[in-house]
Chains A and B, each alone.
Chain A
């Protein structure tokens, strides 16, 4: 079945540091890949997505590239801010005609001023 393996947290960085959160996946076919963010006390918000190999998703300074050869979708940001503190989830949809998302375990990110 499908699975997503995500970098264990928590991750603590200083403001303006470079961020990488690793994500690898196992899936049949050609899944779509997503990064969701969850702020304290809230639901999930879609951060970025990519639907085919070599696509780069980007939003709010975050980027991730769909690498089929390494089955990876690592999240990066060049300069993090305190407001980026949240839990980040990598997810995939198998595109087999349903909306089921398979999530990674989540990575808690804390940015200190």
Chain B
């Protein structure tokens, strides 16, 4: 079974631009979560989608948005990029959200650099 895939793996943008990152979950997984990883703030939860609905949202400005499609693939978008948005963006999928024995599987991440 293929793991969680994220595209692109690396991205360079300039301030003010917008960017879209993509995540394909493991086949059969319907929950997708996104995290931002930076040296200063560590790993921070962005949002979670399940069955095309956003179930939970972290403490990020409205410039960060996401969506999930009917095939469970998810995209996140960051508009009006700032230097501080430079980070590794990780996506995780799971099969049994809300169950105690559920496990989240992480993708390799997309490294975004904002110049």
Main secondary structure of the interface of A (DSSP, over half): loop
Return chain A residues, CB-CB under 8 Å to B75.
Answer: none
The answer to whether B100 and A32 have CB atoms under 8 Å apart is yes
Bound complex: CA of A41 vs CA of B92, how far in Å?
16
> Given A89-B43, A98-B56, A100-B58, A49 and B103 touching (CB < 8 A)?
yes
Report if A105 contacts B (CB, 8 A). Answer: yes
Bound complex: CA of A51 vs CA of B104, how far in Å?
14
Closest B-chain residue to A43, C-beta based? B106
Bound complex: CA of A97 vs CA of B109, how far in Å?
25
For chain B, residues 62 to 115, give those with C-beta under 8 angstroms from any C-beta of chain A: 90, 92, 94, 97-98, 100-109
The answer to whether B101 and A99 have CB atoms under 8 Å apart is no
Return chain B residues, CB-CB under 8 Å to A36.
Answer: 106
The answer to whether A43 and B90 have CB atoms under 8 Å apart is yes
> Given A51-B101, A99-B94, A106 and B108 touching (CB < 8 A)?
no
Bound complex: CA of A104 vs CA of B58, how far in Å?
16
Bound complex: CA of A46 vs CA of B45, how far in Å?
17
The answer to whether A98 and B108 have CB atoms under 8 Å apart is no
The answer to whether A103 and B43 have CB atoms under 8 Å apart is yes
Binding site for A on B (CB under 8 A): 4, 31, 33, 35, 42-45, 48, 55-56, 58, 90, 92, 94, 97-98, 100-109
13 contacts between A and B (CB under 8 A): A42-B108, A43-B90, A43-B107, A46-B104, A51-B100, A51-B101, A52-B100, A97-B98, A98-B48, A98-B97, A99-B97, A101-B35, A105-B42
Binding site for B on A (CB under 8 A): 32, 36, 41-46, 49, 51-52, 89, 91, 95, 97-106
